[in-house]
Amino acid sequence: MIDKLRSHREGLRTQKGFTLIELLVVIAIIGILVVIVLVAINPAARIAEAQQKDGQTRIRQIAGGLEACLTSRLGAGRSTIQAAGDCTGAGYLVTNGYLKVLPTNVTICQGPAATTDDDKVALYTSVTFGGRAFAYKSEQPTTPGTNVAGSTFDFGTTVPASCAAALAG
């Protein structure tokens, strides 16, 4: 019987391969390395950053078309409020050549620049992309020759209540 056990033990020593414990240790080390690499890369942050840049690019495209539209319409003898009204239609910007293509998820809304300021009108453009809102506000004087604040970009903004319903739709 003892001879049988010795021969069996010697037979086990001559077999080639890895034990189960050795394989589990290697798999655990590979798992730890994968976790370290994923934490270092942080794909969620990279995706959010790319979405933010895309939203900013879209709103800047629209802002350029919006400003070109306002300048053109004011030059055509329209009042600031009339010109702003002309340029609020997103399709108007594309149809009249101010934009080649309108980026998706865009709303343009005309609203007051401030509740206490009646000498200017503002166009609010909002792009909702990647769960974030990007806005561009163009303030124009209602009276020619009046200086106003100009244009501002706001990334991750809230839109004025007067435009919230239009921008939500």
Q: How far apart are CA 88 and CA 85, in angstroms?
A: 5
The total number of structural domains that make up the chain? 1
The verdict on residue 37 lying in a domain is no
**Residue 56: per-residue pLDDT:** 77
pLDDT in the model for residue 64: 82
The reply to whether the predicted model has a pTM over 0.85 is no
Provide the token pair at 54: 């895309």
Tokens of 152: 């501002």
Place of tokens 């590979």: 30
Range of the domain at 133: 46-168
The per-residue pLDDT for 21 is 93
Residue 91: inside a domain: yes
Instruction: Report the mean per-residue pLDDT for the chain.
Output: 71
In a domain, 78, yes or no: yes
* pLDDT score of 32: 95
pLDDT of 111 higher than 70? no
Per-residue CA distances from 38 to 30, 31, 32, 68, 80 (Å): 12, 11, 10, 45, 53
What is the pLDDT averaged over residues 37-63?
A: 81
